[in-house]
Amino acid sequence: MTTTIIRREYSKETNIESLAELHPLLQRVYQARGINSSDELERSLQHLIPYQKLYGIDKAVDVLFTALQAQQRVLIVGDFDADGATSTALMVTALNIFGFKHVNYLVPNRFEYGYGLTPEIVELGAKWQPDLIVTVDNGISSCDGVATANELGIKVLVTDHHLAGAELPNAAAIVNPNQPNATFPSKALAGVGVSFYVMLAFRGLLREKNWFTDNNLAEPNMGQLLDLVALGTVADVVPLDKNNRILVHQGIQRIRAGKCRPGIKALLDIAKRKPEKLVASDLGFAIGPRLNAAGRLDDMSLGINCLLSPSIDVAHEMARQLDELNKERRTIENDMKEQAFMSLDKLNLDTKAMPIGLCLYDPAWHQGVIGILAARVKERHHRPVIAFAEADEFNIKGSARSIQGVHIRDVLDAVAAKNPGLISKFGGHAMAAGLSLPKANYEVFARAFDVEVRKLLTENDLYARIDSDGTLEAHEIDLTTAEMLRNAGPWGQAFPEPIFDGRFRILDQRIVGGKHLRLTLSLPTNMQPITAIAFNIDTDKWPNHRCDFIHAAFRLDVNEYNGFRSLQLMIEHLEALNEIVN
């Protein structure tokens, strides 16, 4: 696969007064991300979008207040990923703090029940005799499940962030920034962000009604929930718009200050991450996968219980179990990935012959890992991918991952509209989605999916692209700049960490850890050595001792070892150069 490095556009002459006090490099980086005012860089909670702007929020808190006054039994129904786990833990924690005495949670096992508030989950939850079901990170498409709950006399409050279908469930209240009629300025809230907003609004109502004073309760500081909000938001890879950057930054600041819950502290310990040095990528690449492993291979209740545990010792034991599950997940993933890549290589398809919308299916694949597999194949072949696994004797489940320019849920919607009955159910976001269909429909679906994707992409769109913030001067490639950029985020989806590109001389190169390339580099005009590493390198091509120069796309990183901090380049892409070109 060809990779192209594209330089981001920014104004070389800064005419934005409110950014003028920033370091010139930060001005350039922020401008390239569409920041036109220092106001957009605010990270204090007072700049959050007010909860009053969320459509349906008043009805939702009225439902909750009625339940609280009568001490009704409340059942939280979550999702089996990190966003669902953090949303569940947040809702359970907040409701208990507010004075509910009967709160429980239920997370569908993906292998038995699948996603969302299905009729089967309602019937299972009904054994606990709840008066109210609150969905978190799901429910907007659960028309049948809500109908079943209504038949059983159970009210349902839906809190979700997924895109709505043609029909909304007949719930007592719905809070979702992406539902019809919603005008909330940020459509990017994760499920945990929606849950936080609902609890923020609920506290506001309780304050108005003197609930805390009348019941001798301390009014809770909602900041204590922000560690969960930061973790769920980053792990769900939602766009980090201004509102989400505030939520994530504030959560990270609490974790850095040692104010996070024992479960997150335990997960950081097991991942060998220091809380005081935490950045958003640690949540996404170190903590999120360990939490997700429970839902992928076993039962997300383990992850939720870890987040809810008041004991650091108990949390550590659960974090250890999550770590073991994550190791198992990696082994399964590697086997599936190797098999998928070998199958595609055997087909000997060139770029033009391979479907642009690519579907893969193997009955032996693990249902909980197909999402990661789809992501890995997408990264290698740079096209939308759906990986399928067997759900039962007659049905298969798929997990889709997309690339820029293809809203994957809209593609599935188009396929379903043109082929009634082809897909059993589907849902998701722009970049990721899930679906189910009869096994007998797979070949027809695969062709229909490719047809729809080809309407959106051309052959030229199938080249991987790295957006670079340009070159750095020699004096900018240092630890001070790396520290400055590290603290200028939080970086993440739609607000990416700065990547630069440049030409370097290779002073030394060797493989470490079996598949990573350790490099010692220098600028062509400066022989000062610079440490760099490229992870998961193609060992058939590297080390390349005939190569003296490279063109590399890289991030500046801070490497800490035995208390000593040093600069390290994290190589995102490298190309061999025969000689330096000025």
Choice among 67-71, 90-94, 196-200, 514-518 with the minimum mean pLDDT = 514-518
Alpha-carbon distance of 188 to 570, in angstroms, equals 28
Above 60 in pLDDT, residue 582?
no
The amino acid present at 25, given as its one-letter code, is L
Averaged pLDDT, 102-112: 85
Dihedral sign computed on CA atoms, order 245, 250, 254, 257: positive
CB atoms within 10 A of CB 344: 16
Amino acid at 454: R
Which runs of consecutive H residues, i.e. helices, occur in 405-512?
408-418, 442-454, 479-486
Residue range 487-514: average pLDDT?
Answer: 95
pLDDT digits (tens, 9 = 90+) for 449-464: 999 999 999 877 888 8
Tell me which residue of 113, 112, 108 sits closest to 79, measured CA to CA: 108
* Tens digit of each residue's pLDDT (9 = 90 or more) over 433-446: 899 999 999 999 99
In this prediction, residue 417 carries a pLDDT of 93
SS3 (DSSP) at 561: strand
Neighbours of 376 (CB within 10 A): 19
Q: What domains, with CATH codes, occur in the chain?
A: 9-35 (no CATH), 54-322 (3.90.1640.30), 349-464 (3.10.310.30), 467-577 (2.40.50.460)
Q: What is the mean pLDDT of residues 195-210?
A: 98
Beta strands in 185-272 (DSSP E): none
Q: Percent of the chain scored above 70 by pLDDT?
A: 96
What tokens appear for 498 in the block? 């700065």
How is residue 553 written in tokens? 């796309």
Judge contact between 270 and 325, C-beta under 8 A.
no
Residue 181: predicted pLDDT:
87
The answer to whether the CB of 150 falls within 8 A of the CB of 156 is yes
Residue range 35-46, pLDDT digits in tens: 988 899 999 999
pLDDT at 7: 83
Rounded-to-integer distance, Cα 403 and Cα 385, Å: 9
Residue 10 has pLDDT above 80, yes or no: no
Closest CA to 292 of 267, 256, 257: 267
Helix (H, G, I), strand (E, B) or coil at 516: strand
Pairing of strands 3-7, 395-401: unpaired
E strand or H helix that includes residue 389: strand 385-390
Q: Tokens standing for 425?
A: 């159910």
Q: What is the pLDDT of residues 119-177, one digit of tens each?
A: 999 999 999 999 999 999 999 999 999 999 999 999 999 999 998 888 999 999 999 99
Name the helix (H) or strand (E) containing 159: strand 155-159
pLDDT at 491 over 70: yes
Q: Which two tokens stand for residue 518?
A: 């350790």
- Position 12 scores a pLDDT of 60
Give the lowest-confidence range in 110-114, 194-198, 498-502.
110-114
551, β-bridge pairs: 503, 575
Render 375-395 in DSSP notation, one character per residue.
Answer: HHHHHHH-S-EEEEEE-SSSE
Calculate what percentage of the chain has a pLDDT beyond 90.
Answer: 77
Answer whether residue 339 shows pLDDT above 90: no
